[in-house]
Structure formats: C-alpha cells, structure tokens
Amino acid sequence: MAPFAFQRVHYPANRLHFSAWIPVMRRLRWLLVLILCTGLIAPAFAADEPAGLQVGQEAPAFRLEDQNGKWVTPADFHGHYLVMYFYPKDFTPGCTTEVCTFRDDIAKLRKAGADVVGVSLDDVKSHAEFAAKYHVPFPLLADSDRSVSTTYGVLKSGSHYAKRTTFLIDPQGKIARIYEDVDPEKNSGQVMSDLAALKVAP
C-alpha cells in the first residue's frame, strides 16, 4: 500500500494568503481605537467650551462667596444694573489695573445705577488679601469650583483661568452687553458709556 501523501494546495496568483491581511487588520484595529477615543474625549473638552450666552438672554444664576465670606446672589442686586467682570487671577498686572479702574470709577457707576462684582477662580483668602491691598469697595467672588465661569462660558479650555470678559446685566436680570477680551484700563469707561446709552434708549 502506497504511503499517504499530503497534497500541496496552490493558491491562485490573484488570491492573497490570510497572512497578507494581518498588517491591514492591525491598521484597521488602531483606526477603530482612535475613532472610539476621539468620541470619548471630545465631550470632555466640550464641557469647557463657551456657553454661547447672547445679549437679551437671562443671565445665569450664581451663588458665590466674596472676600468677606459672604454669600452673594443676583437677588442682592435686584433693580440695579450689575457689572459682572471675570478676570484671570488676583495680583497679576492686568487684573490689578482692572480692579483699580473699577474701584476708582465705582462712585460714577453707582450713580449710574450699577453695582460691580469681580469673579475669578481664586479662593476667598486670595480675594481677601487682594481686596485689602487695593482697597476694593465691591465684592470679589470666589468661583473656586469653576461652575459659574463654565456656565458663563468664560473658562479657557484646559486652563486654570477665566477669560477676561465682562457682562452688563440689566435690572430685569437679562444680559444687556457682553465685552470680550477687554482692555483692563478701558473696560470701566466702556461700561459707563453703554449705561448712559441704555438709559436713553426707548
């Protein structure tokens, strides 16, 4: 009896062996992983993106502590205009210029029917020291958990600072003006000009 002989299989020239597909499958696997990771990571970054607040919208509510440990809410300013300015950090040059400009103009702003609050991610202790050093006569609010900065859309993505943005909120609690990337030295004057214009508008 003749011994059993294995028959050699010959693949057609136009047919790829399975091993030839391995590099292609590896590439497809990494492409799939990349797509899945992008889908998971994108929402995390989107959480810090601007909320897109517009003039005429209801200003988001907030409840934050000031430099004296007092809780402050929009109800404290009912019936007045509110200048709510966000700034990056206590004791930095631009933020010092801005707080001192609002400080120097506070009497004019109050005469025009507006109150002022500053907001940053610094804590109450930092605000207390900053306010004491520069004799700040209005609340500096501590948004340490970033919640209000996020709601107002001013938190820089991937950063520990709020963007320099000012909201002028009318006595009914609606956003009357939004000032982005403001000049720390000129913003107070811009607000006073707009307050005058808003009061004569029909």
Furthest-apart CA atoms within the chain: distance in Å: 117
User: In which order are the strands placed within the sheet that holds 165-169?
Assistant: 71-72, 64-65, 140-142, 114-120, 81-86, 165-169, 175-180
Active site residues: 95
Residues whose CB falls within 8 Å of the CB of residue 110, separated by 6 or more in sequence, listed in order: none
Q: Pick from 84, 83, 74, 86: which is nearest to 172 by CA?
A: 74
